[in-house]
Structure 1
Amino acid sequence: MEEAAGLIAPAATMIAAMMTAANLGARVTGWGFVVFTLGSLAWSAVGFASGQTNLLATNLFLTLVNIVGIWRWLGRQRGYEDGARRAAERSREAAAPSLFAASALAGLPGSDIRGEEIGKTVDAMIECESGRLSYVVVASGGLGGVDETLRAMPASLLECHADGLVLLMSEAEFAKRDTLGSAAWPACPPRGRGSEVPPGREGGRPGKDVAHVAAQ
């Protein structure tokens, strides 16, 4: 038993770490915690069989943590995602504007007017007073988030679809837009196909100022 547990424990831990780090949604993350639980129980068995009290105690505690993770991701968070997905599906069949979950914006693929994928959305900025989408930040290039380039896309140049965002420009036009620093996102959306922020608005308060600029 100790030999089998010694094989299962590291394998389960490595697989679970990859599943949770990939951030592929509530289901995958939740099942990652299930595999983590298998690994921590196997490590507990190794600790018990070999008399390593510290290893046993640590992994019994981690088993409790993993159970909380299972409840959070396979229970609560999965329920939220299922509710949002079903609402979006029903909206496409109803005589009403189509919906999609705001949480789904992060990681949503963005394609140019020809349908070629050119990046993925990182996040979106919402106007406080109107509740309207101001702009989204699209990441392109790089590998696994390393050396990627961020650009802001105003809502006026976006079309939302169930399977992603369409940027109303070519890939070449997108590449010409100003890039953003990771901690220097604009306070106001860039206007039209240009990427400049109107003078005097760089430090404007989100909400009224942003809505005023968007209306120009």
Structure 2
Amino acid sequence: MSETTLDALQYYGAGAALLAAFLVSLNLGVKLTGWAFVIFVTSSIALILWGFINDEGEGIGWQNIGLLAINVVGVYRYLIVGEPKKKAESES
């Protein structure tokens, strides 16, 4: 694979992870946090590819397999399941 493609995967993965972490840190709600996890998923995929295609990046590839699993849980939790419904206070 070309050096340009490897660089694009590496820098996209790093930049997307930073953006996603920033969005999660803002705590602006369930939907935005869920979309931040989608960005994390794309970052993990890019870094998995970079890690296993690059001769010296296998550790990053394995780390991002684990992070991909965590990020998929985040997408499920925040975008698919969403916020739990709160019981009305009068029912307590």
Fold shared per TM-score above 0.5:
yes
Give the Å deviation of 1:43: 1.2
Residue identity matched to 2:49: A
Which one of the candidate residues 45, 49, 57 is aligned to 2:49?
Answer: 45
1:36 is matched with which residue?
40
Matched, 1:74 2:83: no
Give the Å deviation of 1:13: 0.5
Identity percentage over the alignment?
Answer: 29
Give the Å deviation of 1:53: 1.7
1:60 is matched with which residue?
65
CA RMSD of aligned residues (A): 2.3
2:23 is matched with which residue?
19
Structure number with the higher strand fraction is 1
Moved >6 Å (runs of 4+): none
Residue identity matched to 1:35: I
Give the Å deviation of 1:14: 0.6
| Structure 1 unaligned residues grouped into runs of 5+ | 85-100, 103-125, 132-216
2:7 is matched with which residue?
3
Larger radius of gyration: 1
Give the Å deviation of 1:23: 1.0
Give the Å deviation of 1:58: 0.6
Residue identity matched to 1:38: T
Structure with higher RCO (Cα < 8 A, 6+ apart): 2
1:157 is matched with which residue?
none
- Deviation by residue 1:141-182 (Cα, 9 ceiling, x = unmatched): xxxxxxxxxxxxxxxxxxxxxxxxxxxxxxxxxxxxxxxxxx
Query: 1:2 and 1:60 mapped to 2: Cα distance?
Result: 18
Give the Å deviation of 1:40: 1.0
Give the Å deviation of 1:20: 0.9
Give the Å deviation of 1:35: 0.4
Query: 2:77 and 2:41 mapped to 1: Cα distance?
Result: 14
Query: 1:59 and 1:71 mapped to 2: Cα distance?
Result: 18
1:139 is matched with which residue?
none
Structure number with the higher helix fraction is 2
Query: 2:14 and 2:60 mapped to 1: Cα distance?
Result: 13
- Give the length in aligned residue pairs: 86
| Structure 2 unaligned residues grouped into runs of 5+ | none
Query: 2:67 and 2:11 mapped to 1: Cα distance?
Result: 18
